[in-house]
């Protein structure tokens, strides 16, 4: 007689150790696991913060199908007014997780999976991984009883899968808190080599990035992904309610600024000196050309107290202006 097909589950895969262990536990229990990885404008698995890099390789190592879902405009919309507020930075973890589970739910329904798993550990993250928050996330994503957190399941109310006998509760974990000792032991048991370091959350948890993001959302009704990509590079200065200046800090950032410049933006560079590419963005940007030129010279290899030339470009129009290197006290008040 042919073997019965394996029951399916969907895993929210971040690429971190905990979600890999959750997958391994389910495979051990005889389930076929299909993974969903979520990208947002603030987490592209590639920022080097350890939460989700090498996601494709992780999925291959785990021998699971991987579906990547990008939450773009809807994520930005949510970030304007997250129902459950922000964490210590500008991280709307509860709303964010609810959106991620909602995406996983769609995949679960598409492939006829039984439930969803994630690597969440009770008490590991301050905002989204305590019991009430986990409950809220389930409710918001319409998945009450359908999310199993294998690493901590025995510390949480039984899910539908446990109640119906699809999975035995005694085979699930009781891990709590931030120490990773139990997970590292499990990694060894499951043969996971070079387990990744604990992820630090996405860019929105970074205090400096959070300040820049708050400033953007306070001044622009609906920021674009281009606006958000600019937040990831350079020094930022809020010049007035409508305009800001971004000054590159190295060659790569200068290239990025050039690549992100839009037709209305003003791009500045010192003509005869190595230095930053700067960008003025906003409705009043032409009023700030002189200041931006001086600040650009301040971060360039140009001597003080002399007049230098700065090249200016706006779309296809190119021109030059002269300026002196700015004194720090004249512009530092604008720094975000």
**In the numeric block, which tokens belong to residue 262?**
């839009």
Run of H or E residues at 212:
helix 207-219
Q: Judged by CB under 6 A, does residue 173 bind ligand SF4?
A: no
Q: Judged by CB under 6 A, does residue 37 bind ligand SF4?
A: no
* C-alpha dihedral sign at 22, 27, 30, 36: positive
The CA-atom distances, in angstroms, between 219 and each of 81, 116, 213, 227, 236 are 14, 38, 10, 12, 14
Residue from 15, 16, 41, 92 touching ligand SF4 (CB under 6 A): that is 92
Q: Judged by CB under 6 A, does residue 97 bind ligand SF4?
A: yes
Least separation in angstroms between residue 79's CB and ligand SF4 is 9
Least separation in angstroms between residue 81's CB and ligand SF4 is 15
Residue from 20, 34, 91, 243 touching ligand SF4 (CB under 6 A): that is 91
Cα 84 from Cα 33, distance rounded (Å) = 30
Nearer to ligand SF4, 12 or 153 (CB): 12
Cα 118 from Cα 35, distance rounded (Å) = 10
Q: Judged by CB under 6 A, does residue 291 bind ligand SF4?
A: no
Residues binding ligand SF4: number (CB under 6 A): 11
Least separation in angstroms between residue 91's CB and ligand SF4 is 4
Nearer to ligand SF4, 183 or 205 (CB): 205
Q: Judged by CB under 6 A, does residue 201 bind ligand SF4?
A: yes
Least separation in angstroms between residue 232's CB and ligand SF4 is 14
Of residues 110 through 149, those in contact with ligand SF4 by CB under 6 A are 128
Residue from 34, 141, 205, 278 touching ligand SF4 (CB under 6 A): that is 205
Residue from 59, 93, 260, 268 touching ligand SF4 (CB under 6 A): that is 93
Region of residue 305 (phi > 0: left; psi between -120 and 50: alpha; otherwise: beta): left
The CA-atom distances, in angstroms, between 197 and each of 51, 156, 277 are 8, 25, 35
Nearest in space to 10 (alpha carbons), one of 116, 82, 103: 116
Q: Buried b vs exposed e over 89-108: b needs ≥16 C-beta within 10 Å?
A: bbbbbbbbbbbbbbbbbebb
Nearest in space to 116 (alpha carbons), one of 229, 16, 36, 221: 36
**How are beta strands 266-270 and 277-281 bridged, if at all?**
antiparallel
Least separation in angstroms between residue 220's CB and ligand SF4 is 20
Nearer to ligand SF4, 228 or 292 (CB): 228
Nearer to ligand SF4, 93 or 267 (CB): 93
Q: Judged by CB under 6 A, does residue 204 bind ligand SF4?
A: yes
Residues in contact with ligand SF4, shown as a per-residue x/- string from 48 to 87 under the rule CB under 6 A: ----------------------------------------
Nearer to ligand SF4, 85 or 177 (CB): 85
Q: Are 9 and 184 in contact (CB under 8 A)?
A: no
Least separation in angstroms between residue 105's CB and ligand SF4 is 16
Least separation in angstroms between residue 181's CB and ligand SF4 is 23
Nearer to ligand SF4, 183 or 243 (CB): 183
Residue from 17, 43, 122, 312 touching ligand SF4 (CB under 6 A): that is 43
Beta strands in the chain (DSSP E): 8-12, 32-39, 65-70, 115-117, 147-148, 235-238, 244-247, 266-270, 277-281, 307-314, 317-324
Residue from 11, 202, 213, 323 touching ligand SF4 (CB under 6 A): that is 202
Q: Are 147 and 116 in contact (CB under 8 A)?
A: yes
Q: Which residue has the tokens 């905002």?
A: 127
Q: Which residues bind ligand SF4 (CB under 6 A)?
A: 43, 91-93, 96-97, 128, 201-202, 204-205
């Amino acid at each position: 007689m042919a073997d019965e097909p394996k029951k399916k589950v969907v895993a929210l895969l971040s690429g971190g150790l905990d979600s890999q262990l959750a997958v391994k536990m389910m495979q051990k229990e005889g389930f076929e696991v299909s993974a969903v990885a979520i990208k947002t404008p603030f987490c592209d698995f590639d920022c080097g913060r350890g939460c989700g890099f090498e996601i494709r390789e992780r999925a291959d190592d785990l021998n699971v199908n991987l579906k990547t879902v990008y939450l773009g405009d809807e994520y930005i919309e949510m970030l304007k007014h997250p129902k459950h507020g922000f964490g210590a930075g500008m991280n709307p973890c509860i709303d964010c997780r609810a959106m991620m589970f909602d995406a996983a739910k769609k995949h679960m329904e598409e492939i006829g999976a039984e439930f969803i798993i994630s690597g969440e550990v009770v008490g590991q993250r301050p905002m989204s991984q305590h019991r009430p928050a986990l409950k809220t996330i389930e409710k918001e994503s319409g998945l009450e009883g359908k999310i199993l957190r294998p690493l901590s399941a025995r510390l949480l109310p039984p899910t539908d899968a446990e109640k119906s006998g699809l999975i035995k509760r005694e085979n699930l974990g009781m891990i709590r808190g931030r120490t990773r000792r139990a997970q590292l032991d499990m990694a060894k048991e499951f043969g996971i080599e070079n387990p990744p370091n604990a992820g630090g959350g996405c860019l929105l948890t970074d205090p400096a990035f959070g300040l820049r993001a708050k400033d953007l959302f306070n001044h622009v009704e609906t920021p674009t992904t281009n606006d958000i990509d600019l937040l990831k590079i350079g020094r930022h200065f809020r010049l007035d309610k409508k305009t800001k200046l971004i000054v590159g800090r190295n060659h790569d950032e200068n290239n990025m600024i050039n690549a992100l410049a839009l037709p209305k933006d003003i791009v500045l560079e010192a003509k005869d000196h190595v230095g930053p590419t700067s960008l003025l963005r906003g409705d009043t940007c032409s009023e700030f050309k002189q200041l931006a030129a001086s600040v650009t010279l301040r971060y360039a290899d140009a001597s003080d107290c002399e007049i230098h030339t700065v090249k200016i470009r706006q779309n296809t129009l190119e021109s030059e202006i002269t300026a002196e290197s700015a004194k720090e006290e004249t512009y530092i008040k604008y720094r975000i």
